Amino acid sequence: MRYLPLSQTDREAMLAKIGVSHVNDLFKDVPRDALLKEHVDLPTHMSEMEVEREFNGFANKNVPAGSVPFFVGAGAYRHYVPSSVDHLIQRGEFLTAYTPYQPEISQGTLQALYEFQTQVAQITGMEVSNASMYDGSTACGEAVLMARRATRKKKAILSGTLNPQYVEVVRTVTKYTDDVAVVNPVGTYFLDDLIAQIDDETSCVVVQNPDFFGNIQDYTKLAEAAHAKKALLVVVVTEVVSLGAVRSPGSMGADIVVGEGQSIGNGLTFGGPYVGLLATRQKFVRTMPGRVCGETVDADGKRGFVLTLSTREQHIRREKATSNICTNAGLCTLAFTIHMTLLGEKGFRHLAQLNHAKAVTLADKLDAIDGVSVLNDSFFNEFTVSLPMGAAEAVERLADQDVIAGVPLSRLYPDNPDMTNKLLVAVTETVTEDDMDRLVAELKELAHA
Amino acid sequence: MLNNQGRQTDINTAAALSNNNVTTHSGNRGLDQEELLIYEIGNSQTCGVDLEEVGEFKNRLGGVTRDNEIGLAGLSEPECMRHYTRLSRKNYAIDMGLYPLGSCTMKHNPRINEKVVRLPGLGDIHPLQPVSTVQGALDLMDTLAHWLKTLTGMPAVAMSPKAGAHGELCGVMAIKAALDKRGENRTVILAPESAHGTNPATAALCGYKIKNIPSTKDGRVDLQALKDALGPDVAGIMLTNPNTCGLFERDIIEIADAVHAAGGYFYCDGANFNAIVGKVRPGDLGVDAMHINLHKTFSTPHGGGGPGAGPVVLSEALAPFAPVPYVVHGEDGFDLVEHVTDDGCSKDSFGRMTAFHGQMGMNIRALAFMMSHGTDGLARVAEDSVLNANYVMASLSDVMTASFDGPCMHECLFDDRFLADTGVATLDFAKAMIDEGYHPMTMYFPLVVHGAMLIEPTESESKQSVDQFVGSLRHLVEQAKSGNKDLFSGAPYLAPRKRLDETRAARSPVLRWTKPE
């Protein structure tokens, strides 16, 4: 066994030192009948080459996004990640380190977290960020619980244009507490309706930008209305590249910004691991969940970094902690930070412009097809299209032609007949003009068949 | 040794100047290099990525455009490589040496796992692309589920939890949902004193009150106290087994029976599954739910704080309440159940815990680890991890104070009695280990002994490596007992940073860089 260094001679010498004759003597506290007499019914060990062959077998039964014209988004986006990012995160010193509980020998991880927190605060327009959550959706659930702690009120109002999976996650985390999640009807965003719902019991209003259907809003008035009732505005951003082109939630008056950071530095990997962002204002920092890294000095007065404010956390506070989160998304934050550092101010803005320009180009092309229309007033790199047929069927038939056209909204809203013909289409910098033309040609054929 | 003029280096002068006597202009000390923040090196104009030019187009952002400067700093690719390479060298890692953090299972991370997760057919697939185009991914999840169910002897597994604590939440929510279905409003979760902090934090998230169960003198749950605490208000127990003292709960079956007889459920914290994988099936012990930290037992790298993954195996009683989504065998291959519906298999599900389907990247690595070891190798993992821990205990118990009699499981617990009258605290002792070239063990946990030191060598350490580690600890004990207090109170002396002022960090938090005024 290539991963097990002990030889039979070693094992015998060690058993002798311990003073037992057989390794099973060390399992003597296990109830007698529970110690297995033989190996469980699974395959025996494999060489590295055999393992690789097995995984090639799994991989070959999937259609990689990069192998076809590809337009799927809805909370995870295919961006190009520079090769240096993956090389750096695979350095053993980053990859195989634990959570930086011993700061003197973890400055690499800690300084990178400090840089991450700064970048997240900057792009969201907030004052502080934590060191990550599992993903955007769980960060959204945590934001609702955080708003309750910050306001000591229990009613969260969720916009009808919030990602439906995020809505479900909030429903789940509030299900067994006495929090109330008010979920608005799915579809269009009505500012006045939302404002009318905010009352003295309201802890927060949760909205998304760009929203799930791709539209961009200015939430400044909503923030003012929430603040007038001492409620918080939570803004969700599932495509962080948009922050290079769209006004930041912080500038609109958001109190908590949560985001899915996958777009920067992290591949699709079928939904995880991703990186949840959570940023807020300085005054709420002690109600924030999760780890946070802070600056300090060492005994020689040199600058250094440590995990701090841990009296909020489960390993100290136990049942009174702000969250039960422990392991978060460390290596994904590192990938985010390295990619963002390669982009810098200039590259991040350029990337956002490029995404938007491509999306505008495709939207115009699709709008020109008879029977197909783009429903958005505004959008960044994703928009909703109405088709003259069921979108799920269209996506399946186009997949047979090696074009993956987007997400049929019926997959996320199975009981909503309004969604049957609607397709959510995402366009990133990885999409070429040829890819767009393929989609247009295939859709034309399907629409007119 | 020749210097650049070709003359012999004066050994005596070099020795005299070594260590603290040499000051450098750069602040670097040879390979120990100082590194500024990206904001102090880079600027807003530098970019390490070449992007396609953007042509003319009509903006459709609805007037909500970002015009002011964000403040990001950019680095070119060579600068970026150097910055993060230099930072990486300030970290300790399992690739560099034994990492004895008890309860964390820091074992070797095989690189084939990193290779297969990056295959385009696995790394470059979207969670919402058509199910017909991801049959291999669903097959892989189903295969991993089969391995986990077989290794634990449990009938079902929820694959979406993102980490151990998220898995705990999944298990406790399943318990709550099952009790709701029974129409019972039970309000208390029992947890032993030695529990991980996540256990009470999780129970509290589901609205439960926590009742602590004391430990006995031999480091196990006090069965009588447990039985006395049971009643119609108790929803269940959260118990780690092997427990956080590194011991197998001898009365585990009796505990499970008592909890079940009182109408409660048994949640097992699977953080220490490494000790028993392939040797004992939790399903045979009466467990109703148990999360498995794929980043511990199945070696998906810890990455400086995650990501992890925490699939939860479930008993027949709890399986109907599992969260969506999950993989099922459909007519045309594999399918995904993504919604809770009023009829069908998901009708009792407590809901969705996360967007998409879980930590696929970690699932892939874990399955590669399992397949590499096979059923024979996994049992050996447990045996060698337990053997290494007992060997450490046997090699140190004459000089350090083991808290409980052995045998231990995959980790061994010492307390600070051996440091009595030396003026050296557990923290100082641990920091001195850094100068010896080791990451400290887990300190001050579990809370049931004074000044705890929990050592977990794992199965991927050789005897030679463990012997060297034992040698270092014996040396430190000797130094502590001979009154060499300075070796400890100022430690570490040889790390990239000396002891950091954590009080200052917490009192006036500085959590981000800001442009100097």
Angle made by CA atoms B326, B329, B331, in degrees to the nearest 5: 135
| Same domain, residue pair A207 and A328 | yes
Q: Which residues pair with A257 in a beta bridge?
A: A235, A279
Asked if residue A210 belongs to a domain, the reply is: yes
Asked if residue A383 belongs to a domain, the reply is: yes
Asked if residue A182 belongs to a domain, the reply is: yes
pLDDT surpasses 50 at B1: no
| Same domain, residue pair A391 and A412 | yes
Sign of CA dihedral B356, B359, B365, B370: negative
| Same domain, residue pair A329 and A192 | yes
- Residue whose tokens read 């958005």: A376
pLDDT surpasses 60 at B129: yes
How many other C-beta atoms can be found within 10 angstroms of the C-beta atom of residue B231? 12
| Same domain, residue pair A230 and A161 | yes
Q: Which residues in A lie closer than 8 A to residue B357 (C-beta atoms)?
A: 270-272
Residue A410: which region, alpha, beta or left (left: phi > 0; alpha: psi -120 to 50)? alpha
Contact B462, A10 (CB under 8 A): yes
Q: How confident is the model at residue A49, as a pLDDT? A: 98
Please tell me the distance from the alpha carbon of residue A138 to that of residue A132, in angstroms, as a whole number.
11
Q: Which of residues 298-327 of B touch A (CB under 8 A)?
A: 301-309, 323
B199 Cβ contact list (under 8 Å, min separation 6)? B168, B191, B238, B240, B269
- Give the DSSP letter of residue B463: H
Query: Pairing state of beta strands A407-408 and B265-269?
Result: unpaired
Q: Any idea what the CATH number is for the domain that residue A146 is in?
A: 3.40.640.10
User: Quick one: fold of B375-495?
Assistant: Aspartate Aminotransferase, domain 1 (3.90.1150)
Q: What is the pLDDT of residues A2-42, one digit of tens each?
A: 999 999 999 999 999 999 999 999 999 999 999 999 999 99
Q: What is each CA distance from A344 to A79, A265, A337, A349, in whole angstroms?
A: 16, 13, 10, 8
| Same domain, residue pair A333 and A351 | no
| Same domain, residue pair A202 and A116 | yes
Residue B304: which region, alpha, beta or left (left: phi > 0; alpha: psi -120 to 50)? left
Q: Do the Cβ atoms of B387 and A14 come within 8 Å?
A: yes
Nearest to B450 by CA among B490, B417, B494, B496: B417
pLDDT surpasses 70 at B140: yes
Among B33, B68, B72, B393, the residue to mutate for chain A (most A Cβ within 10 A): B72
Q: Which of A316, A340, A364 is the last residue of a domain?
A: A340
Q: What is the pLDDT of residues A323-378, one digit of tens each?
A: 888 889 999 999 999 999 999 999 999 999 999 999 999 999 999 999 999 999 99
Confidence of residue A212 (pLDDT cuts 50, 70, 90): very high
Asked if residue A60 belongs to a domain, the reply is: no
**Given CB atoms, is B51 within the 8 Å cutoff of chain A?**
yes
Q: What is the pLDDT of residues B166-188, one digit of tens each?
A: 999 999 999 999 999 999 999 99
Report how far apart the first and last C-alpha atoms of chain A are (Å, whole number): 59
Confidence of residue A188 (pLDDT cuts 50, 70, 90): confident
Q: How confident is the model at residue A317, as a pLDDT? A: 80
Q: Pick A302's closest partner by Cβ from B65, B307, B497.
A: B497
DSSP string, B306-340: ------EEE-TTTGGGPPBPEEEEETTEEEEE-S-
Q: What is the pLDDT of residues A160-174, one digit of tens each?
A: 999 999 999 999 999
Find the helix or strand (DSSP H, E) in which B188 lies: strand B188-192
Q: Do the Cβ atoms of A65 and B125 come within 8 Å?
A: yes
DSSP string, B470-497: HHHHHHHHHHHHTT-THHHHT--SSSSS
pLDDT surpasses 60 at A435: yes
Q: Which of A307, A340, A373 is the last residue of a domain?
A: A340
Q: Which residues in A lie closer than 8 A to residue B297 (C-beta atoms)?
A: none
Q: What is the pLDDT of residues B343-396, one digit of tens each?
A: 888 999 999 999 999 999 999 999 999 999 999 999 999 999 999 999 999 999
Out of A317-321, B246-250, B395-399, which region has the weakest mean confidence (pLDDT)? Answer: A317-321
- Percent of chain A's residues with pLDDT above 70: 100
Asked if residue A272 belongs to a domain, the reply is: yes
Angle between helices B360-396 and A8-18 (to 10 degrees): 50
User: How many contacts, defined by CB atoms under 8 Å, are there between A and B?
Assistant: 721
Asked if residue A175 belongs to a domain, the reply is: yes
- Residue B124: both structure tokens together: 């470059």
- Residue A123: both structure tokens together: 């792009």
Residue B190: phi and psi, rounded to 5, are -90, 140
Residue B168: phi and psi, rounded to 5, are -60, -45
| Same domain, residue pair A330 and A226 | yes
Please tell me the distance from the alpha carbon of residue A209 to that of residue A249, in angstroms, as a whole number.
8
- Domain covering B114-369 assigned CATH 3.40.640.10 in the classification: yes
- Residue A221: both structure tokens together: 């008035």
Q: Do the Cβ atoms of A103 and B497 come within 8 Å?
A: yes
More confident residue, B181 or A190: B181
Q: Pick A115's closest partner by Cβ from B37, B118, B434.
A: B37
DSSP string, A291-305: --EEEEEBTTS-EEE
Confidence of residue B18 (pLDDT cuts 50, 70, 90): low
Please tell me the distance from the alpha carbon of residue A279 to that of residue A272, in angstroms, as a whole number.
21
- Give the DSSP letter of residue B54: P
| Same domain, residue pair A187 and A151 | yes
Q: Which residues in A lie closer than 8 A to residue B153 (C-beta atoms)?
A: 40
Confidence of residue A185 (pLDDT cuts 50, 70, 90): confident
Q: What is the pLDDT of residues A53-105, one digit of tens each?
A: 999 999 999 999 999 999 999 999 999 999 999 999 999 999 999 999 999 99
Which ranges in chain B are annotated with CATH 3.90.1150.10?
375-495
Q: What is the pLDDT of residues B234-253, one digit of tens each?
A: 999 999 999 999 999 999 99
DSSP string, A198-227: --TTEEEEEEESS-TTS-----HHHHHHHH
Please tell me the distance from the alpha carbon of residue B386 to that of residue B369, in angstroms, as a whole number.
19
Q: Any idea what the CATH number is for the domain that residue A397 is in?
A: 3.90.1150.10
Which ranges in chain B are annotated with CATH 3.40.640.10?
114-369
Q: Which of A340, A366, A401 is the last residue of a domain?
A: A340
Average pLDDT over residues A286-304: 96
Q: How confident is the model at residue A314, as a pLDDT? A: 81
Q: What is the pLDDT of residues B218-235, one digit of tens each?
A: 999 999 999 999 999 999
Q: Which residues in A lie closer than 8 A to residue B43 (C-beta atoms)?
A: 344
Find the helix or strand (DSSP H, E) in which A279 lies: strand A276-280
Q: Do the Cβ atoms of B302 and A97 come within 8 Å?
A: yes
Average pLDDT over residues A206-210: 98
Q: How confident is the model at residue B253, as a pLDDT? A: 97
| Same domain, residue pair A163 and A304 | yes
Q: What is the pLDDT of residues A43-67, one digit of tens each?
A: 999 999 999 999 999 999 999 999 9
- DSSP SS3 for B158: strand
Q: How confident is the model at residue B116, as a pLDDT? A: 98
Q: How confident is the model at residue A194, as a pLDDT? A: 94
Total structural domains in chain A? 2
CA B49 to chain centroid, in Å, comes to: 34
Q: Which residues in B lie closer than 8 A to residue A168 (C-beta atoms)?
A: 351-352
- DSSP SS3 for A424: strand
Q: How confident is the model at residue A16, as a pLDDT? A: 98
- Percent of chain B's residues with pLDDT above 90: 91
Q: Which residues pair with B415 in a beta bridge?
A: B401
| Structural domain range at position A147 | 83-340
Q: How far is A230 from chain B (nearest CA, A)?
A: 24
Q: What is the pLDDT of residues A375-405, one digit of tens each?
A: 999 999 999 999 999 999 999 999 999 999 9
Residue B155: which region, alpha, beta or left (left: phi > 0; alpha: psi -120 to 50)? alpha
Asked if residue A283 belongs to a domain, the reply is: yes
Residue B329: phi and psi, rounded to 5, are -85, 115
Average pLDDT over residues B67-86: 97
Please tell me the distance from the alpha carbon of residue A259 to that of residue A235, in angstroms, as a whole number.
8
| Same domain, residue pair A414 and A268 | no
Q: Pick A272's closest partner by Cβ from B104, B339, B356.
A: B356
Q: Do the Cβ atoms of A59 and B122 come within 8 Å?
A: yes
Q: How far is B367 from chain A (nearest CA, A)?
A: 9
| Same domain, residue pair A112 and A154 | yes
CA B373 to chain centroid, in Å, comes to: 21
Q: Which residues in A lie closer than 8 A to residue B116 (C-beta atoms)?
A: 51-52, 55, 59
Asked if residue A44 belongs to a domain, the reply is: no
Judged on CB neighbours under 10 Å (0-12, 13-18, 19+), B37 is middle
- Nearest-CA residue of chain A relative to B254? A31
Please tell me the distance from the alpha carbon of residue B454 to that of residue B473, in angstroms, as a whole number.
13
Confidence of residue B147 (pLDDT cuts 50, 70, 90): very high
Please tell me the distance from the alpha carbon of residue A327 to that of residue A360, in angstroms, as a whole number.
40
Buried b (16+ CB within 10 A) or exposed e, A132-160: bbbbbbbbbbbbbbbbbbbbebbbbbbbb
E strands present in A298-437: 303-307, 373-374, 382-386, 407-408, 422-426
| Same domain, residue pair A399 and A277 | no
Q: What is the pLDDT of residues B6-16, one digit of tens each?
A: 555 565 665 56
